[in-house]
Structures are given as structure tokens and as C-alpha cells.
Amino acid sequence: MIEKVKKRFKLIKNDPKFQEKLQEMQPKKSIWGFLVVILLFFVPELVNILYHKEILMWITEFANDVSNQEISDLLIWIGKKVFTGEVSWINLALGVGFLVWLFRGK
């Protein structure tokens, strides 16, 4: 199975059409490409770390106004799962990967 995946990866890696599409997907070296990566990957983590308590309080207040108790409980549960105040290392790793791809590309 692993050999099959390695063989497929080599075929894809050497495919000129794949390389062309990969170059088209690469973010452009501009201030906009940099800002998009920062806004999509790093700013949400910063907001989660700094304001998770305030966001959870707002969600709880909003959920109390909902007439359906099941939706209210679901909203509070999702809020507690999403806004933990901890760092998402996957999100940060993706952001760093995109920044490296942005600046080290052709």
C-alpha cells in the first residue's frame, strides 16, 4: 500500500500539468497575499486567545434569548468547544506553511 502511494506521488510530482496547476494556485508575492494569510490563519488565533471569555459570555447571553432550549444548549456547547483560549497548532502550522510557500516560491 505504501509503495503504491509512493509510486502515485512520484507520478504526480513529475507531471507537468500538475506543476503548472500548482504554480497557478500559489499565492502571489504581494501585500495582499501576505495579508490574506495573516487574516485567515493568525488573527483568529489571536482573537481566540485574547477574547475567548468575552465571546463565551456573549454566546451565553445570546443563547438565553433563543426560545428553543435545544438550540440554546447546542450553541453554548459549540461555543465552549470552539473558543477554548488555547492555540490551534494545526491552524498556525498551515499559516506558516502558506507564508513559506508565498515567499519561497518562484
pLDDT, tens digit (0-9, with 9 covering 90-100), for 80-104? 998 888 888 999 999 999 888 888 8
3-state secondary structure of 76: helix
31-59 pLDDT tens trace: 888 898 899 999 999 999 999 999 999 99
**Whole-model pTM above 0.85?**
no
d(CA 102, CA 96): 10
In degrees and rounded to multiples of 5, residue 94 shows phi and psi of: -65, -40
d(CA 43, CA 95): 10
Each domain of the chain, given as residue ranges in start order, spans 28-104
- Cell numbers given for 56: 463565551
